[in-house]
Structure 1
Amino acid sequence: MFVLDFAHKVVKLLHSEERPMQIGFGFALGSVIALTPLSSPHNLLVLLLLCVINVSFSAGLLGMVLMSPLGYALDGVFDRLGHLLLVDLDGLTPFWTAFFNAPFVVFTRLNNTLVLGSLVASLLLLVPIAWLIAFAVRRYRSSWQAIILRSRFYRWFSMSRFYVWGAKAYGFVYGSGR
């Protein structure tokens, strides 16, 4: 049932009234959370931004879910990037010394090579991911949306007894407010 619910939410997001850039930046902010270690304090700030600014929160959740496996797969690359920034580049040593002597920086965990590398990489990818997702949403809405909504499979699936039964069961189990 999770797969059907997930697919339904993606289709609902694609057919929503939200602008493509709202969806794109929501997905990109969710990607920042997914690409960095979850226990990092900066993720609370990103989650707050996701809730406060005018972006798609659903797309943010989708970005977290879809980009988490990529974050785990790229941990080695992120760790090497963080090691490069913290240790190997001698020119940055005075900056890091001054930065880490500030009282609040102790709690950021940016002295961890994985945290720093993944944060830098995810911030560098923030705008490209947002533009790519916004482009994909625009492309879907202009060319594929009408085709999919008219397809026999979509009409059969949305009217099938299994779908109707699943939707009723889901509403019964989780309440009709969902």
Structure 2
Amino acid sequence: MTALLKQIFNFLKLLNSDTGTNQLASGLSLGMILGFAPFISIQTFAVFAIIFIFRVQIGAAFLAAFFFKFVAFMFDGPAHHLGKAVLETESLKPLFTTMYNMPLVPMTRFNNSIVMGSMIVSILLLPFAFFAFKALILKYRATVVARFKGTKFWKAFTATKLYNWYCTYDNLYG
């Protein structure tokens, strides 16, 4: 539980910092895919590769994956129906047969209707989630952070020695 709270506090710190909105939004979006994907699968390793190769906020991805894992359970019914419809499409059966006979592709568990439906939904939602998260981050920084930094409490707190000590500690040790 403390690891989760630490991730939440680090994420709030990132939201309030000058970290790029693209890195945070892409981390949240890729975390959505991680949340909808099975835990140990080729899809998960591919998303991890994208996270580690490109400039993506890892903490945001892990936090989003944690929360989207719970959302994915709520959408198992619709994902099952969507995946079943795709898997039972007659014109795609030769493709699925070929894919199943390939060396690593069956490890994606694409033949499971819930996995197929969840991956279709998460990949289709990826661009919309990215732009929605980016807009929400910008709106949060423009309204909440700006309003909070304008309060008398924040101005009084930044004048204390405790805040100066924290800034020095944060600059030295991150």
Q: TM-score, normalised by structure 2?
A: 0.80
Equivalent-residue separation in structure 2 for 1:77 and 1:121 (angstroms): 10
Q: Contact 1:42/1:108 (CA < 8 Å) preserved in 2?
A: yes
Aligned residues, how many?
A: 166
Secondary structure of 1:69's counterpart equals helix
Q: Contact 1:27/1:130 (CA < 8 Å) preserved in 2?
A: yes
Residue equivalent to 1:142: 142
Structure 1 portions without partners, runs of 5+:
168-176
Residue equivalent to 1:60: 61
Q: Contact 2:22/2:134 (CA < 8 Å) preserved in 1?
A: yes
Residue equivalent to 2:125: 125
Counterpart residue type for residue 148 of structure 1: F
Measure how far apart 1:75 and its partner are.
1.3
Equivalent-residue separation in structure 2 for 1:73 and 1:157 (angstroms): 42
Residue equivalent to 2:41: 40
Measure how far apart 1:12 and its partner are.
0.7
Equivalent-residue separation in structure 2 for 1:103 and 1:137 (angstroms): 41
Secondary structure of 2:104's counterpart equals helix
Distance 1:97 1:158, change over 3 A: farther
Distance 1:132 1:103, change over 3 A: same
Distance 1:71 1:156, change over 3 A: farther
- Residues 13-24 of structure 1 aligned to structure 2 (within 5 Å): 13-24=14-25
- Answer with 103-112 or 147-156: which moved more: 147-156
Distance 1:73 1:155, change over 3 A: farther
Equivalent-residue separation in structure 2 for 1:97 and 1:156 (angstroms): 67
Measure how far apart 1:85 and its partner are.
0.7
Q: Contact 2:8/2:63 (CA < 8 Å) preserved in 1?
A: no
Question: How many percent identity over aligned positions?
Answer: 27
Structure 2 portions without partners, runs of 5+:
167-172
Q: TM-score, normalised by structure 1?
A: 0.78
